[in-house]
Amino acid sequence: MRWTLKPKPELSKIKQLSEALQVEHAIASLLLQRGIETYEDAKQFFRPSLDELHDPFLMKDMDKAVDRIEKAINDGENILVFGDYDVDGTTAVALMSSYLKARTDTVATYIPDRYDEGYGVSIKGIDFAHDNDFALIIALDCGIKAIDKVAYAKEKGIDFIICDHHRPGAELPDAVAILDPKREDCDYPYDELCGCGVGFKLIQALASRDGKSIEDLTGYLDLVATAIGADIVPITGENRTLAYFGLQVINGDPRAGIKAIIDQTKKAQLTITDVVFIIAPRINAAGRMKHGNHAVTLLTEEDEVLAQTYAQEIEQFNTDRKEADQRITQEALLQIEEYEEQERFTSVVFQETWHKGVIGIVASRLIETYYRPTLVFTKSGDKLAASARSVSGFDVYNALEACSAHIEQFGGHKYAAGLTLKEENYEAFKQAFEDEVSKTIDKSLLIPEIRVDTQIDFKDITPKFYRILKQFAPFGPGNMAPVFMTENLQDTGYGKCVGADDKHLRIIARQGNSQNIVGIGFNLGDKYNLITDKKPFKAVYSIDENHWQGNVSLQLKLRDIKA
């Protein structure tokens, strides 16, 4: 692992903020790294308020969207709420449809089939709307590039409102309203909302016209927080406020569907990390293994007994998903091992029977073993389809663009993309991708990086220090859990390998005459020889709590150790 120490803020600024907040220098330094420079900034960071949310009408076209929806409600028009099959899309559809159903009976939902229709607005969905007399489609988490599809709908007399958060192309669809904070001509103050977040701003605007306040909408924030976590958008600004209050709803009074998922897992007090690893995969599993409709049905169900039944179905989809991704990962690793005799800068694997719904997960798993840009292909109709994943710092979208002569279609962003190509072009593409990556990647990016916030000593790790650290949550991009480095450590002689095959490492370390602190390092069992015989070592870690037999103590969550 590469350890990169983040730049330390100016000492004068650290001292100033430390005095203003009455906190240690290390805390002030962490806050400054997050752009928090004053007492007021810190107050907003540690005590978020729903009153800080921006006026939704600052978003371009919001007034047009609200006017069109109100007309549809008043005239009794049929409204179709359309969204993608992933967590962001299904939570957005659940949010919008449940809000509108409280105001009109003429609302239905539509999630495209992952395998039959693919991502985003589909011709099949528009035909469904036309055949069933829908006058308005509200598209969530998709639609910003659906120029031809929106034109097709217009020919059939169907209006579109688009709520998206992806970057627009040079041309915008001819929709009644396009809500997307990433529009060049949109002055909305925060442009990192997820699709469900944009949907929430729309219901906030609708509710304000209806004389309701933001407090009347807090029941929808469990959905918004789930989407923020799952879509890996920055947890800064408005997202942080929405996630903060959404977690309170999840842990206090969640909707029946989310409560049913939590009950399946027997987990108490969820963090945003738990949302990402417990709630999100289960919602996603519906679209991966069966159909995204199952997720929307669960998330909109108000009867707790029925919700439990739906959650059990989704739990089975998630079990099937896990089995598929573990099996396919093993098969893919065997493929890679077969051609490992030569140095490679990419991993590209293909098996026509692999399940299309899990190839993105498999690509991420392969990066855990072979840290390099990765593509996993499967057969999809008469074409090959792939999910691409990248390593930190390398733009896989640009690399695919350079190989576009071999590709039928591709889309995505810097770290994740999807593509299709003809089977006869597979080998040529595979070589072109390897050539492009080997030519353009900075070789240091092929070594995983740990970004360290600051260096501290064990004497700094106190209950008060940890209490303040906990208030930095919810954590995520833009506000990751702080990572610390400490040097001149020694194991007290009780360090050992633990777990199956001695895979993990447990140490009891001290620094000089400091207190002893327990550290747990998952998958660090092979570092045991670095700590034996009281050899000095340094460690990078985050800090968390260990709960054991009613006792609570601070422990280190080791990320890496070096001599």
Mean pLDDT per 10-residue run, the chain (563 residues)?
94 97 96 95 95 97 98 98 95 98 96 86 97 98 94 98 92 97 96 96 97 96 96 92 97 96 89 93 91 95 96 94 95 88 88 94 94 96 94 93 93 85 96 96 94 96 94 93 97 92 94 93 95 95 89 93 96
Predicted pLDDT of residue 341: 64
The verdict on 505 and 423 lying in the same domain is no
Q: What is the CATH number of the domain that holds 427?
A: 3.10.310.30
Please report whether residue 455 resides in a domain.
yes
Is 222:255 a contact under the CB 8 Å cutoff?
yes
Pairing of strands 2-5, 449-452: parallel
Q: Give the DSSP per-residue string, 262-321.
A: HHHHT--S--HHHIIIIIHHHHHHIIIII-THHHHHHHH---HHHHHHHHHHHHHHHHHH
Pick the closest to residue 456 from 508, 506, 514, 505 (CA basis): 514
CA distance 167 to 178: 12
Q: Which two tokens stand for residue 205?
A: 């605007």
The verdict on 201 and 307 lying in the same domain is yes
The total number of structural domains in the chain stands at: 3
Predicted pLDDT of residue 223: 98
The conformational region for residue 211 under phi > 0 = left, psi -120 to 50 = alpha, else beta, is left
Question: What is the SS3 assignment for 74-99?
Answer: HHCCEEEEEECCCHHHHHHHHHHHHH
Q: What is the CATH number of the domain that holds 554?
A: 2.40.50.460
Q: Which two tokens stand for residue 308?
A: 């439990």
Predicted pLDDT of residue 149: 97
Q: Is 253 exposed, middle or buried (0-12, 13-18, 19+ CB in 10 A)?
A: exposed
Predicted pLDDT of residue 167: 84
Query: What are the angstrom distances between the C-alpha of 361 and each of 23, 262, 332, 386?
Result: 41, 22, 12, 11
The verdict on 395 and 257 lying in the same domain is no
The verdict on 143 and 268 lying in the same domain is yes
CA distance 361 to 289: 13
Please report whether residue 193 resides in a domain.
yes
Give, in degrees to the nearest 5, the angle at Cα 402 between 86 and 433: 80
Work out the number of other CB atoms within 10 angstroms of the CB of residue 216: 13
CA distance 414 to 551: 44
Pick the closest to residue 137 from 118, 127, 145 (CA basis): 127
With b for 16 or more beta-carbon neighbours within 10 A and e for fewer, the 443-468 pattern comes to eebbeeeeebbbbbebebbeeebeeb
Domain boundary among the residues 399, 419, 446 is at 446
Please report whether residue 38 resides in a domain.
yes
Predicted pLDDT of residue 343: 82
The verdict on 429 and 473 lying in the same domain is no
Please report whether residue 320 resides in a domain.
no
Please report whether residue 285 resides in a domain.
yes
Q: What is the CATH number of the domain that holds 152?
A: 3.90.1640.30
The verdict on 176 and 280 lying in the same domain is yes
Q: Which residues contact 218 (CB under 8 A, 6 or more apart)?
A: 50, 245, 249
Range of the domain at 280: 56-313
Domain boundary among the residues 415, 446, 477 is at 446
Q: What are the DSSP E strand ranges found in 117-253?
A: 134-140, 159-163, 177-179
Q: Which residues contact 130 (CB under 8 A, 6 or more apart)?
A: 153, 156, 157, 158
The verdict on 271 and 171 lying in the same domain is yes
The verdict on 26 and 91 lying in the same domain is no
Domain boundary among the residues 410, 431, 446 is at 446
Residue type, 503: K
Please report whether residue 334 resides in a domain.
no
The verdict on 439 and 525 lying in the same domain is no
The verdict on 243 and 104 lying in the same domain is yes
Residue 323, classed as helix, strand or coil, is: helix
Work out the number of other CB atoms within 10 angstroms of the CB of residue 548: 10
CA distance 358 to 547: 34
Predicted pLDDT of residue 402: 96
pTM: 0.91
Strand arrangement of the beta sheet that strand 107-110 belongs to = 107-110, 78-83, 134-140, 159-163, 177-179
Q: What are phi and psi of 556, to 5 degrees?
A: -95, 135
Is 491:534 a contact under the CB 8 Å cutoff?
yes
Query: For 394, which DSSP code?
Result: -
The verdict on 402 and 303 lying in the same domain is no
Query: For 473, which DSSP code?
Result: P
Please report whether residue 469 resides in a domain.
yes
Please report whether residue 384 resides in a domain.
yes
The verdict on 533 and 552 lying in the same domain is yes
